[in-house]
Amino acid sequence: MKRKNLILILVCVLLIIAPFIVAKNGEFNGADSMAEDLITEINSDYEPWAESLWVPPSGEVESFLFAFQAAAGAGFIGYYVGKKKYDKGNKPVCQK
C-alpha cells in the first residue's frame, strides 16, 4: 500500500513539473485570453456583446476566487462521495 501511494505521489509531481520542462519558454495563458487573441486575429473589428457584471480589483483577487471555487467544488464532491460510502454501511476511512 505504501509503495502504491508513493508511486501515485510521484506521478502527480511529474504531471505538475512536466509542462515546465516540455515548454521551457512557453506562456501559460488561460483559455479566455487565448480565445480573445484568436478572435482579434480573425476579426479585428469584433466588439463583445456582453460585459462582465463585476471585475475583480486585482489579479490576486481573481486568482483567489478561482482557487476558492475549485476548493469548494472539490469539498462538495468529497463530501458527496464520502456520504454515499458511509450510507452504504461501509466504515469511513478515517475511523479506527
Residue 63 counted as domain residue: yes
Residue 70 counted as domain residue: yes
Give yes or no for a contact between 86 and 92, defined as CB atoms under 8 angstroms apart.
yes
Residue 22 counted as domain residue: no
Question: Domain residues for 71?
Answer: 59-90
Q: Is the pTM of this model over 0.75?
A: no
Residue 80 counted as domain residue: yes
DSSP, collapsed to helix, strand or coil, labels residue 21 as helix
Residue 9 counted as domain residue: no
pLDDT tens, per residue, the chain with 96 residues: 789 999 999 999 999 898 888 877 777 677 778 888 899 999 989 888 888 898 888 888 988 999 999 999 999 999 998 888 777 766 656 655
Residue 54 counted as domain residue: no
The amino acid occupying position 18 is A
Domain total in the chain = 1
